[in-house]
């Protein structure tokens, strides 16, 4: 997995209570992306994606639009060192 990348995203807006985490889990599974997603106390959703660069970019793009019912206002994205995660968890 030497060409893998890792991105952390924090999604702001109306993003809790709209199945954002479960939708992200399903999208990550389809793309073979590892990582996790969680609701934050401040109302945002935070996620980490690891895997193929194109697949991770697709996950970031998913977060920029969100699932049906979400109203994404802002997405903060940062690069991080790859940790070699496997699987995808909803926290």
Which one is catalytic: 6, 21, 25, 31? 21
Pairing of strands 5-14, 45-51: antiparallel
Task: Mark whether 21 is an active-site residue.
Answer: yes
Which one is catalytic: 6, 30, 31, 39? 39
78: CATH: 3.30.70.100
- Burial tier of 70 (Cβ tally within 10 Å: 0-12, 13-18, 19+): buried
* Domain assignment of residue 34, given as a range: 5-90
pLDDT tens-place values along the chain, 91 residues long = 459 999 999 999 999 999 999 999 999 999 999 999 999 999 999 999 999 999 999 999 999 999 999 999 999 999 999 999 999 999 9
Task: Mark whether 38 is an active-site residue.
Answer: no
Residue 8 vs residues 3, 27, 56, 69, 81: alpha-carbon distances, Å:
17, 16, 10, 22, 10
Total of domains in the chain: 1
Q: Could you give the 3-state DSSP secondary structure of residue 38? A: strand
Q: What is the pTM of this model?
A: 0.94
């Amino acid at each position: 997995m030497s060409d893998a990348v890792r991105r952390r995203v924090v999604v702001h807006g109306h993003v809790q209570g709209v199945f954002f985490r479960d939708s992200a889990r399903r999208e990550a599974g389809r793309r073979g992306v590892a990582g996790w997603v969680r609701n934050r106390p401040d109302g945002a959703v935070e996620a980490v994606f690891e895997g193929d660069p194109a697949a991770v970019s697709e996950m970031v793009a998913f977060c920029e639009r969100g699932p049906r019912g979400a109203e994404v206002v802002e997405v903060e994205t940062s690069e991080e060192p790859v940790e070699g995660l496997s699987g995808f968890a909803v926290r």
